[in-house]
């Protein structure tokens, strides 16, 4: 126990000597300023990334891939293609103007008319197991005469 007391006193006296020797230096102040500047830069970068994430997607600037999922290729869809009408699976919350803009942006054609069909989910069975087949939304897009969309590349 006695040894511990002496060590404490010695440490305290050493601290006093060290404090007396050290004078406020410019180097420390410069280091503190640099740290503050780097912290400010980090905060600004974080703000920029957060603001980029919050920005809504502007209609007409690369949103088409979100609206149009894929072309819906069936026998009926190929018959409609002869009449300049094409069928696409579409994002469930998409509306007619969004679909029109997306088709015009992707394929570079003029759209005359858009019709939307909500295909409901259906109950399916495999033996005793019952389940549901997913529902989806599809759009029938009529293109101006003389223009065509090549859904299947040749």
Read off the pLDDT of residues 43-52 as tens digits, 9 standing for 90 and up: 887 777 656 5
The pLDDT value given to residue 51: 60
pLDDT digits (tens, 9 = 90+) for 2-25: 555 655 655 666 666 655 555 555
- Please state which CATH class domain 64-143 belongs to: alpha beta
The distance in angstroms from the start CA to the end CA of the chain is: 93
The pLDDT value given to residue 23: 52
The pLDDT value given to residue 74: 94
Return the H-helix or E-strand segment holding 30: helix 26-54
The pLDDT value given to residue 57: 47
The pLDDT value given to residue 147: 93
Half-sphere exposure in the Cβ direction for 52 (13 Å, CA)? 6
**Ranges under pLDDT 70 in the chain:** 1-26, 49-61, 154
The pLDDT value given to residue 65: 83
Q: Which residues contact 38 (CB under 8 A, 6 or more apart)?
A: none
Domain locations along the chain:
64-143
């Amino acid at each position: 126990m006695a040894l511990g007391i002496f060590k404490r006193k010695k440490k305290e006296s050493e601290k006093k000597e060290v404090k007396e020797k050290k004078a406020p230096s410019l180097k420390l102040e410069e280091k503190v300023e640099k740290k503050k500047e780097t912290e400010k830069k980090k905060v600004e970068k974080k703000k920029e990334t957060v603001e980029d994430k919050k920005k809504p997607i502007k209609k007409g600037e690369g949103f088409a891939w979100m609206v149009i999922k894929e072309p819906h290729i069936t026998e009926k869809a190929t018959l409609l293609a002869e009449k300049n009408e094409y069928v696409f699976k579409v994002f469930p919350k998409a509306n007619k103007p969004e679909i029109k803009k997306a088709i015009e942006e992707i394929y570079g054609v003029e759209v005359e008319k858009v019709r939307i069909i909500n295909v409901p989910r259906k109950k399916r069975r495999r033996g005793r197991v019952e389940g549901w087949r997913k529902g989806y939304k599809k759009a029938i897009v009529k293109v101006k005469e003389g223009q065509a969309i090549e859904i299947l590349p040749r």
